[in-house]
Amino acid sequence: MIRKTGLFFTVMMFLFTIIPFGTTVGAAGIPSFKVNLNASQVTVGDNVVVTIQGSNVTDLYGYEAVLTYDADRLEFNSVQSQSNGLINGYKIAQASGNQVTFANTKMGDKPGENGNLAICTLIFKAKQSGQANLTLTQMTTLTSQELPSIWNVNAQATVKINGTTPGPGGGGGGGTTTPSTNEDLGVYVPKESELRIETTQDGQTSVTAVIDSKRLAQKLADLQATGGSTVLSFEIPGERELTALQLPLPTLFDSLKDHKDTILSVRSHLGTYDLPMSILNQADFAGMAGVEGATLIIRIDKAKSLHETKFDQSISDKGMDRVSDMIDYKVILKTKDKEQEIHSFGNNFVTRVIQVDEIIQDSSAATAVVYDPATGEMKFVPSVFTVKGGKTEVKVIRNTNSLYAIVQNKKTFDDMIGHWAQQDVEQLASKMIINGTSDRMYTPEMQVTRAQFAALLVRGLGLSEEAGRSVFTDVADTQWYAPEVNTAAKYGLVQGVAEGQFSPDAQITREQMVVMMMKAIGLVKGTSVSNASATNAPFADQDLLSDYARSAVADAASKGLIQGKTATTFAPQDVATRAEAAVIIKRVLQYANLIN
C-alpha cells in the first residue's frame, strides 16, 4: 500500500503513465461520470463552473480527469475543489491547448470514498460569444488497494456565451449587466460569486444562490419591459443534495406592484419550484418590506436517507413502490433575529416539478404523496404526469409545503368490475382519495352524506386538515370527519343548512354536490360561481333547482362537468351515490388540472 507522502510522485506517475489508456484494469464496480455546468448560458467575462460528477463510485482513493474544451471561447482558470473536500491529498493540474488534466489522491492510511460524488470542480472564464463545448473524455480511478481503472467517458456539456460586457465587479462579480438581444430575459443565472457551496456535518453537500439585489432589480425591470413572460427562472447549478435560493425581500417588495403576476421559478437537478410573487401580500409578510437585510429563502432538498428508509418500510406492506427521491420544500422568511417558515399559502396553489428517472406508463396508478416523518402519515397530493425524454415529470400542485415523493399504487374492487364508474373509482382509489367499504368492495350504490363528500373534496384538493374547535355546532370534535368539514368551511367549500348547523350525516343531494364541486374549482382557479356566465341549466326540471344552486348547476353544465340523470332531467333533489361522488370528484380534479 502506498501511504507515505514521499511516494506522492510515484502515485502521480502511476496515474499518468503506467496504466495503458483505452483499457480497464481491476474491478471496482461500474461507475459512471458526467459533466455538470453551473449555468446553461453566461456572458463574456463570467465564470463557467464545471463539476465532474461520479455515480456508483466504489472506494475512490485517487483519480485523474481529462477534460477537453473550446479554447477559443473558454479560458481555464483553476480547480476550485476536489470531491467536496473528501479527497484532500496531493494534486496536479496540467493545462495544454484545449485539454486540462487534473489528478488528485489521498495520502496515508485512509479509506476510499463511495456512492455519488462531486469529484472535482474546475473554473473556466468565458472569453468569446458563441456555443462552447466541454467533454470529459476519460477518468482514471484508483482504489485504496491500489487497483486502477480507466474509463473512456465522452460525457459532454454545452454552454451558450452571450456577447455582453460584464458590469462592475468584473467576471463572476455581482454587478449588473446590460443584456444582449440574444439573452433570455426570463432566466437568471447566478454568478459564481453569488454561490455558496458547503458540506454539512452529516456529509450532505449544499449550494445556496444568494441573489444580488441590483442584478435582481435589473432582471425584473428587463422582464417587465419585454411585456412577455411572467416567469423569472433561477438556475441552481450542480447535483447537490441541498439547494436553496436566497432573495432580497426589499427588492421583491419594491417590484411587487409591477410584478404581482410574476412567478419566481427555482430550477435544480431535483426539480423546480414556482412561487408567485403575490404571496408577498399574505399576512406572514406584513411589516417585512422595510426590514433591512430581510431575505426570502426557497429550499429544495433531498430528504435524509433515514426518512426515505422509514417511508419505504411504511408503504411496502401496502403494495406500493416509491419511484422518485423524497423532496423537502420550504419557504423561509429570514431576518437578522430569526427565521420563520411559511407553511401555507392560503388560496394560492403552488406548483413544483419532481423528476422520475423512468417512464410511468399508467398515471392513473401513480401519484404524488405528502409524508409526515413524525407520524408516518401519507396522503394524496394533486399531481400531473408528463413523459419527456425517457423520463417522467410530475407536476405537484398544493397550497402548502412539506415532504413529497412519487409512488405507484394499483387498487381494484370486485364489485366495480364492468360498472360504468369503474375507471373513475379505481383511479381515485389508487391515488388514495377514496376508500372502499372493505379491502375488496366499494359498494357504488351506497348513498353519500354531506360530511363524506366534504371529506372527499378536501382530500382531492390536497388541503391540510384543520384541527381544533368545530365551526358547526352539530359537528362534534370527536367525529372522524370533523377536521375535513372544518377545512372545507375554512376554504369556503361548504355552508351550513341553518345558522351554525351543517347536518353532516344528512344524505347529500345532487345539487348540493354540484355547488360544492364548483366552489372547489373556484378555489383552485381563483374564480367565483357567482360570476358564471350561464344562469339557466339546460334541463327540463330546472325549476326544481334551489335558488342557491341554480348558477352552480348552470355553470357546471355549460362546462360539460355534469350530465342529467336522464337525457332531459337533472334530478337535483335526488340523493347522490358513492359512484356518482367519485365521478364528480374526478371531474373536479381534471378540470382544475390537478390530475391527468
Question: Considering the chain, what percentage of its residues have pLDDT values greater than 90?
Answer: 41
SS3 label, residue 8: helix
Provide the pairing of β-strand 187-188 with 231-235.
Answer: parallel
Predicted local distance difference test score (pLDDT) of residue 121: 81
Query: Does 120 reside within a domain?
Result: yes
pLDDT tens, position by position, 479-524: 999 999 999 999 999 987 777 899 999 999 999 999 999 999 999 9
CA angle 433, 434, 435 (to 5 degrees): 130
Q: For residues 40-66, b (16+ Cβ closer than 10 Å) or e, as one string?
A: ebbbbbbbbbbbbbbeebbbbbbbbbb
User: Does position 13 have pLDDT exceeding 60, yes or no?
Assistant: no
Predicted local distance difference test score (pLDDT) of residue 420: 94
Residue 5 — very low, low, confident or very high, per pLDDT cuts 50/70/90? Answer: very low
Predicted local distance difference test score (pLDDT) of residue 91: 54
Other C-beta atoms closer than 10 Å to the C-beta of 294 total: 20
Residue 578 sits in the same domain as residue 488: yes
- pTM of the full structure: 0.68
pLDDT tens, position by position, 386-409: 998 888 999 999 999 999 999 999
More confident residue, 185 or 25: 185
More confident residue, 96 or 50: 50
Query: Does 322 reside within a domain?
Result: yes
pLDDT tens, position by position, 138-162: 999 888 888 888 888 988 888 988 8
Of 72-86, 197-211, 463-477, the poorest mean pLDDT is in 72-86
**C-alpha to C-alpha distance for 292 and 289, rounded to whole angstroms:** 8
Residue 200 — very low, low, confident or very high, per pLDDT cuts 50/70/90? Answer: confident
User: Does position 89 have pLDDT exceeding 60, yes or no?
Assistant: no
The amino acid sitting at 277 is M
Query: Does 171 reside within a domain?
Result: no
Residue range 2-8: mean pLDDT, rounded:
38
State the CATH number of the domain containing residue 134: 2.60.40.680
User: Does position 214 have pLDDT exceeding 70, yes or no?
Assistant: yes
**C-alpha to C-alpha distance for 154 and 135, rounded to whole angstroms:** 6
**C-alpha to C-alpha distance for 493 and 162, rounded to whole angstroms:** 51
Query: Does 182 reside within a domain?
Result: no
User: Does position 25 have pLDDT exceeding 50, yes or no?
Assistant: no
Residue 133 sits in the same domain as residue 218: no
Q: Which of 386, 408, 430 is the last residue of a domain?
A: 408
- Cβ contact 306:388 at 8 Å: no
Residue 70 sits in the same domain as residue 143: yes
Q: Where are the alpha helices (DSSP H) in 478-565?
A: 482-490, 510-525, 547-558
Residue 222 sits in the same domain as residue 131: no
User: Does position 1 have pLDDT exceeding 90, yes or no?
Assistant: no
Residue 102 sits in the same domain as residue 55: yes
Residue 238 sits in the same domain as residue 350: yes
State how many domains the chain has.
3
Residue 138 sits in the same domain as residue 205: no
Residue 429 sits in the same domain as residue 487: yes
Predicted local distance difference test score (pLDDT) of residue 183: 53
**Domain hosting residue 434, numbered range:** 414-592
Predicted local distance difference test score (pLDDT) of residue 181: 41
Residue 267 sits in the same domain as residue 291: yes
Sign of CA dihedral 31, 209, 357, 322: positive
Query: Does 169 reside within a domain?
Result: no
Q: Which of 391, 408, 425 is the last residue of a domain?
A: 408
Query: Does 167 reside within a domain?
Result: no
- Cβ contact 252:296 at 8 Å: yes
Q: Which of 408, 436, 457 is the last residue of a domain?
A: 408
Query: Does 21 reside within a domain?
Result: no
E strand or H helix that includes residue 312: helix 305-316
Residue range 356-371: mean pLDDT, rounded:
92
More confident residue, 528 or 34: 34
User: Does position 173 have pLDDT exceeding 50, yes or no?
Assistant: no
Residue 2 — very low, low, confident or very high, per pLDDT cuts 50/70/90? Answer: very low
Predicted local distance difference test score (pLDDT) of residue 81: 44
Question: Considering the chain, what percentage of its residues have pLDDT values greater than 70?
Answer: 87
Residue 398 sits in the same domain as residue 425: no
Angle separating helix axes 422-430 and 578-591, nearest 10 degrees: 70
- What share of residues in the chain are helix, strand, coil (percent, to 5)? 25, 35, 40
Q: What is the DSSP letter of 99?
A: E
Residue range 421-429: mean pLDDT, rounded:
95
More confident residue, 79 or 527: 527
**C-alpha to C-alpha distance for 522 and 379, rounded to whole angstroms:** 23
Residue 456 — very low, low, confident or very high, per pLDDT cuts 50/70/90? Answer: very high
User: Does position 27 have pLDDT exceeding 90, yes or no?
Assistant: no
Residue range 419-446: mean pLDDT, rounded:
94
Residue range 332-354: mean pLDDT, rounded:
90
User: Does position 531 have pLDDT exceeding 70, yes or no?
Assistant: no
Rounded to the nearest integer, the mean pLDDT of the chain is 83
Residue 481 sits in the same domain as residue 495: yes
Query: Does 583 reside within a domain?
Result: yes
Predicted local distance difference test score (pLDDT) of residue 385: 95
Residue 305 sits in the same domain as residue 450: no
Predicted local distance difference test score (pLDDT) of residue 115: 79
- Cβ contact 247:275 at 8 Å: no
Angle separating helix axes 547-558 and 510-525, nearest 10 degrees: 60
Of 221-235, 325-339, 494-508, the poorest mean pLDDT is in 221-235
Residue 535 — very low, low, confident or very high, per pLDDT cuts 50/70/90? Answer: low
Residue range 120-134: mean pLDDT, rounded:
86
